[in-house]
Structure 1
């Protein structure tokens, strides 16, 4: 059976936009906050955790009050807003979304706050090319959980997962996408890191416009 691609889900940071968000500092600040409030223990490995997995650990404890939860997200949002100031598009990203607009369903799934994402996308004048932009407020759990991608599929019930492609630079993008059944293309990703986290992209690209080559009908395995 051959599938014709009907939509693409893009990650945002370092896929469409080259932001300067200091994800390492964000992770450390949130972890320190959670340790200070005795939500998480000291000594978690920062090498294997991302900000989103640390937050998931905190959520799973059942110890986060609503007030502490808001304060935690405020730390993330502060880093995001600061890092999005002056964020430039990745090379050829505008040309790609202009070309695909109206031909395919275009969506973004980002762990960022929607406000920070929209500010950067509007500043770069590409927000209007997308049919759906999912920020963390629309997810139960952040990537690497599949919630954001499942929300995309829910919004477009006339499509199946195999009629989509997902493009992102990080293992969390691949894990979330693959868990939702959407084939994942790694854009300038660390493939060894992805593989070590159980993510096996069906394609790797170095230039964002190379995704065009994967939009033709393909045979299901």
Structure 2
């Protein structure tokens, strides 16, 4: 899809547009246990203090990592994602807000989830057609909070300056990815204390997606 608009919005998916039931605690536990069982990290690691993506990167940087072990880890993560995404419902007012934004902006999804799981959830909730592109972990070299996904999207659209882009997300990892990718960030139901602790400075905090319709995005 090539929509000739001059501003663009990147949305996180889980708990920004969709109310998923992904058990992130169980996901982190599964990753941690896989690393411990294979000597990648010590059993004393305070794994609860890490995001799932940070735990994944610990393993990917280890000299002990093998392709089979990484495949096993991704299989466990994907199974938890699929279970949590099944039957996902939209955040309040998501469809009406996307319908209006779609008339003036290029819209994108950037998610740490697998592409297949993201597509299934977006199709199930009937909002997939609003997006120019869905970018998932397969398109990233490193998961959010790294800006790899932001960089990937911006490279696909060189006609748009960095100033034309804004990201919407609920977590500090979305905000960190946006900031390090040099795009503006809006926190939706974001925890202010956590944002500040991680050095994330949103241009706005919102608790209702309809507030996006009052915000001026980009140039």
When the two structures are superposed, what TM-score results if normalisation uses the length of structure 2? Answer: 0.94
CA distance in 1, matches of 2:177, 2:194: 15
Map of 2:32 onto structure 1: 31
1:59-78 alignment, distance < 5 Å? 59-78=60-79
RMSD, aligned CA: 1.4
Change (3 A) 1:216 1:146: closer
Report if the CA contact (8 A) 2:164-2:218 is conserved. no
Structure-1 residue corresponding to 2:55:
54
Going from structure 1 to structure 2, the CA distance change for 1:143 and 1:217 (only over 3 Å counts) comes to: closer
Map 1:1-221; keep pairs closer than 5 Å: 6-215=7-216
Report the 3-state secondary structure (helix = DSSP H, G, I; strand = E; otherwise coil) of the residue aligned with 1:204.
Answer: strand
Matched-pair contact (CA < 8 Å) for 1:5–1:215: no
Determine the C-alpha separation between the residues in 1 that align with 2:176 and 2:189: 16
Matched length: 215
What is the alpha-carbon distance in structure 2 between the residues aligned to residue 18 and residue 206 of structure 1? 14
Q: Deviations over 1:50-109 (max 9, x none)?
A: 000011111111321111011100111000000011100000111111112242110010
- 1:127-153 Cα shifts (integer Å, max 9, x gaps): 111001101000000000000111110
In the TM superposition, residue 217 of structure 1 has moved relative to its aligned partner by 6.3
Name the CA distance, whole Å, in 1 between partners of 2:204 and 2:71. 38
Q: Secondary structure at the match of 1:107?
A: strand
Distance 1:173 1:155 in 2: 20
Structure-2 change in CA distance of 1:69 and 1:202 (3 Å): same
Deviations 1:4-28 (A, max 9, x none): 9700000000000000001011011
User: Once the 2 structures are TM-superposed, how far is the Cα of residue 31 of structure 1 from its aligned partner?
Assistant: 0.7
Q: Which ranges in structure 2 are unaligned for 5 or more consecutive residues? A: none
Q: TM-score, normalised by structure 1?
A: 0.93
Task: Give the direction of change, closer, same or farther, for the CA distance of 1:167–1:143 in structure 2 (3 Å limit).
Answer: same
Cα distance in 2 for residues equivalent to 1:44 and 1:136: 25
* Structure 1, unpaired ranges of 5+: none
Please tell me whether the aligned partners of residues 5 and 164 of structure 1 are also in contact (alpha carbons under 8 angstroms). no
